Amino acid sequence: MRVALCGNPNVGKTTLFNQLTGLRQRVANFPGVTVERKAGTLAGAPHVEVVDLPGTYSLTPRSIDERIAYEVLVGRLETEPDVVVCVLDAGNLERNLYVVTQVIDLGLPVIVALNMMDVAEENGLAVDASALEKDLGVPVVPITASRGEGIDELKKCILNPPESAQVYRWQLMDAVDAKIPALIKQLTEEAPHVKPMHLRMEVLRALAEEEALDAWRLEAPEFVNCIEALQEEFAKRGIAWRHAEVSGRYAWIGPIAQRASHRVSGPATLSDRIDAVFTHRVAGPLCFLLILVCVFEAVFSWAIPAMDLIEAGVAALAGGVRSALPAGWVTDLLTDGIITGVGNVVVFLPQILLLFFFLGIMEDSGYMARSAFIMDRLMKRVGLSGGSVLPLLSSYACAIPGIMAARTLDSERDRLITIMVAPLMSCSARLPVYTLFIAAFLPTGKLMGVFGYQGLAMFSMYMMGTIMAFVAAAILKRLVFKGPASYFVMELPPYRRPRLRQLFWRMYQRSKVFAIRAGKIILGCSIALWFLASFPRTDTSPEATQIEELAIQERNREYAAAQALAPGRDLTVATDSLSLVDSTLVYALDLTARADARYTAALDSANIIRQSTQIRESAIGHLGRILEPVMQPLGFDWKISAGLVSAFAAREVIVSTLGIIYSVGDAEGGVALRDALKADQYPDGRPVFTPLVALSLLVFFVFALQCMSTLAIARRETNTWRWPMVMWLYMTVLAYLASLLVYQGGLLLGFS
Amino acid sequence: MVPAPLTAFCDGCPLKICSVHGCAEERLRDMGLREGAQVEVIQNSDKLIVRLAGCRIGLRRDVAADIFATPAEL
Ligand SMILES: Nc1nc2c(ncn2[C@@H]2O[C@H](COP(=O)(O)OP(=O)(O)OP(=O)(O)O)[C@@H](O)[C@H]2O)c(=O)[nH]1
Ligand SMILES: [Mg+2]
């Protein structure tokens, strides 16, 4: 048996779904959270499949997510569901009932779940479920999905499903109604495959909607002719045929809603008062900007203690492993490869969790929908609508859900543009890269004592990507997807207190995703990179050998000179066992001691040269150096170039790569990656990483599309490889040019 | 009284919608902004926020200009 959950957006379908199945699908307080069909089994009744659907205002789909809901309900994706649970917001019966009447008219058994009873009660709204049940002729179960109230009754009802209710109990205006039978007959003749149950719906829709009519043009031309003739006739007679169906349905449900609930139109609610500030035309955008600055500031600074802790733990672990195991390449792989590679990325988990915490608060409180409202003005300028803001903001977490959320857009053109620019929004995988370089190369001071420079730098990285996304959207709209700006209509949900359990669950989920990523991709990359960095082995370095030989000669010479000063005396004995009166002997001993010190220093530097020769001559070194000429204009040396290549597996991997390169090339080990970056030099003594190089690299990461999964999801959502390829190409070119501009411009301006 | 576009009403007036036009008209009707609906304009600046029964709907100005309404008699 299959049960489908349907209803308006944001009425709590997914919350109910989670209660019924025990699953944890994503719930948030803005319309358009669910954009796919999700299935699970009813807890305690494994033979019942529960299907969660995207929210829809009517059964006339206007966007892709609504189409999915529609196709499941009419049985186009799979066989029709056996029962449909229509979820309603008890505080807004009339509008919510509209889609219920449409589902009833499909001839499916319907159960009404009257959700948000707690909110209705709080607002002093008495909702009479039994009156509703009697009027509609379907079972009505009052529930509060978020608290699990009424779920058992609903389950019982699902397990004893009702019969289909009587269809078309509402009255179409007579003039239109009279013409329907003839049209139905015509359609049956031309399109016999249409289910008898759906005929009336198809006719009504073709009458009211241009697009629905166009869809019949090939298959049923005569039917289309009839309708067009009829529309002309109605227009002449002054009959409002276009909204005949809407008016008819509302004429039926209006009184029903009235009887079932007594609307209180009280004074302005709390939500209205908050909105007076947050959606104000001047204060609103300012608040939005301030909130974003604070979020990124907090993400940057609050995470530091936890990050320091993890960093120390990773270093201790590496040290422990190194001392516990015998020296050899396996130990090197463990410490320099796996622990360094994975550890360097795991360090950023606290920041990512904080980012998700704040995004979660914005989503659950209802502020997300307001941000779409506020940003509409800007979006209109670039030819999009506020609706694109939600997908773009979710791309701050990850471009993949962002690209999928674009399904909620009514206009296909807007959807494509949004998909094309979503990867420019900085996702959480870029966070480690931003943090590493910002922490290494920016001062820690505070601007006006409030905002740390580092947090502000982080904010500017995010802004740079965001602004570029708008610019790219404007260009795409002008050049590729030409057309008028689309409209903007969006429901603004009431503000709700974010539910902490839900929030922490999402953060926990995120850490799991992160851990899996660290465990699979980053671990794999780290191992591969370590091998690439450690092999082929180059144990001979002529330069190092030469230094060593010179050092030995030097030492012998100085020993001989000292011996000449104190002939016949043993210069290898310790100083304090000798009489200090013999000043020549003391002087000679001093000479040999200094000779020894110089000798060890020379050996050390030979060792360092040998290590870095190893890295340079390794597979990854060769790869990096092949790319170096291309990357040199951006200020990147071969190590960064190699890191950039590895970042195509996942952006964070560059952090592992640099970590591995530096720890394989580092005789001592245990230096924080930050410090290793700062200390690195070209052979001629110039630092490899200057603030300018770091900036250039950051800019590269802001714009570059280094994510296979994004390309794959864009392929799925656009159904062609064309757009993902265009996306990759334009972003790579953009990243290269922007970095080039930053680095060369910086050099010209006299920075180094 | 002659119907006027929603953009012409001040904050807080109870209204009755007379007609809906423009490119978003079907979407608006789906969302409940249909002929005969009782609404209230609760914010009217560069965009509008309209209260409709139990919900708030944000509209771009040009969309709202295609919705005509008269003050509802109480
Ligand atoms: N107070 C209260 N809040 C609820 C209740 N049910 C759901 N919510 C909240 O309503 C919001 C929307 O819930 P969802 O389950 O995501 O709604 P949905 O219908 O799946 O939304 P879409 O997927 O966008 O169509 C969330 O913030 C929930 O926490 C309820 O019974 N009472
Ligand atoms: Mg949902």
- State whether A491 and B58 contact (CB < 8 Å): yes
- State whether A386 and B60 contact (CB < 8 Å): yes
- Whether A722 has a pLDDT exceeding 70, the answer reads yes
- List of chain B residues whose C-beta atoms are within 8 Å of the C-beta of residue A492: 49, 55-58
Best CA proximity match to A677, nearest among A665, A666, A689: A689
Each residue of A20-50: pLDDT tens digit?
A: 999 989 999 999 999 999 999 999 889 999 9
For chain A, first and last CA: distance in Å?
Answer: 69
- Whether A112 has a pLDDT exceeding 90, the answer reads yes
Mean pLDDT of chain A: 86
What is the number of the ligand closest to the CA of A86? 1
Domains of chain A: 2-159 (3.40.50.300), 174-239 (no CATH), 283-479 (no CATH), 542-611 (no CATH), 619-748 (no CATH)
SS3 A692: helix
Distance B42 CA to ligand 2 centre (A): 28
Cross-strand bridge partners of residue B14: B40
Q: Are A351 and A540 in contact (CB under 8 A)?
A: no
Whole-Å CA distances, A702 to A267, A467, A732, A735: 47, 11, 11, 7
Whole-Å CA distances, B7 to A381, B46, B61, B69: 20, 10, 7, 10
Please compute the mean of the pLDDT values over residues A694-722 and round it to a whole number: 90
- Whether A541 has a pLDDT exceeding 80, the answer reads no
Give the pLDDT of residue A47.
93
In terms of pLDDT, which residue wins out, A84 or B22?
Answer: A84
| The pair of three-digit structure tokens given for residue A504, joined into one six-digit string | 């922490």
Q: Which residue, judged by its Cα, is nearest atom 9 of ligand 1?
A: A12
Each residue of A17-28: pLDDT tens digit?
A: 999 999 989 999
For chain B, first and last CA: distance in Å?
Answer: 15
For the Cβ of A19 lying below 6 angstroms from any atom of ligand 1, the answer is no
Please compute the mean of the pLDDT values over residues A433-455 and round it to a whole number: 80
CB-based contacts of A481-486 (< 8 A; 24+ apart in sequence) = A481/A413, A481/A416, A481/A417, A483/A413, A485/A380, A485/A383, A485/A384, A485/A385, A486/A384, A486/A385, A486/A409, A486/A410, A486/A411, A486/A413, A486/A414, A486/B23
- State whether B45 and A490 contact (CB < 8 Å): no
Q: What is the ipTM of this complex?
A: 0.93
For the Cβ of A142 lying below 6 angstroms from any atom of ligand 1, the answer is no
Given pLDDT bands bounded at 50, 70 and 90, which one contains residue A493?
very high
For the Cβ of A118 lying below 6 angstroms from any atom of ligand 1, the answer is yes
Give the pLDDT of residue A15.
95
Residues of chain B with pLDDT under 70: 74
Give the pLDDT of residue A668.
52
Residues of B with CB under 8 A from a CB of A: 14, 20, 22-32, 34-37, 40, 42-43, 45-47, 49, 52-60, 62-63
Q: Are A381 and A330 in contact (CB under 8 A)?
A: no
Calpha distance A218→A228 (Å, rounded): 15
| The pair of three-digit structure tokens given for residue A559, joined into one six-digit string | 């020993």
- List of chain A residues whose C-beta atoms are within 8 Å of the C-beta of residue B63: 487-489
Distance A25 CA to ligand 1 centre (A): 11
Distance B23 CA to ligand 2 centre (A): 27
Give the pLDDT of residue A444.
76
Distance A20 CA to ligand 2 centre (A): 14
Distance A53 CA to ligand 2 centre (A): 7
Calpha distance A359→A291 (Å, rounded): 11
Give the pLDDT of residue A502.
85
- List of chain A residues whose C-beta atoms are within 8 Å of the C-beta of residue B49: 275, 279, 373, 492
Given pLDDT bands bounded at 50, 70 and 90, which one contains residue A752?
low
Calpha distance A59→A205 (Å, rounded): 10
Give the pLDDT of residue A729.
94
SS3 A271: helix
Give the pLDDT of residue A665.
60
Cross-strand bridge partners of residue A490: B58
Q: Which residue, judged by its Cα, is nearest atom 27 of ligand 1?
A: A29
Please compute the mean of the pLDDT values over residues A165-191 and round it to a whole number: 90
Give the pLDDT of residue A689.
84
Give the pLDDT of residue A333.
81
Q: Which of A483-487, A558-562, A637-641 has the highest mean pLDDT?
A: A637-641
Q: Is A673 exposed, middle or buried (0-12, 13-18, 19+ CB in 10 A)?
A: buried
Please compute the mean of the pLDDT values over residues A187-195 and round it to a whole number: 90
Give the pLDDT of residue A583.
73
Which CATH code fits B4-71?
Answer: 2.30.30.90
Each residue of A4-16: pLDDT tens digit?
A: 999 999 999 999 9
DSSP string, A481-532: S--PPPP-EEEEPPP-PPPHHHHHHHHHHHHHHHHHHIIIIIHHHHHHHHHH
The distance of Cα A391 from the centroid of its chain, to the nearest Å, equals: 9
- State whether B34 and A243 contact (CB < 8 Å): yes
Distance from CA of B2 to the nearest CA of A (A): 18
Each residue of A318-346: pLDDT tens digit?
A: 888 888 888 777 887 887 778 877 887 78
Q: Which residue, judged by its Cα, is nearest atom 14 of ligand 1?
A: A12
**Dihedral over alpha carbons A280, A281, A284, A285 (to 10 degrees):** 180
- Determine which of A247-261, A274-288, A575-589 has the lowest per-residue pLDDT on average: A575-589
Distance from CA of A46 to the nearest CA of B (A): 36
Each residue of A261-310: pLDDT tens digit?
A: 876 555 567 888 888 889 988 999 999 999 988 888 888 788 888 888 88
Please compute the mean of the pLDDT values over residues A456-483 and round it to a whole number: 89
Give the pLDDT of residue A33.
92
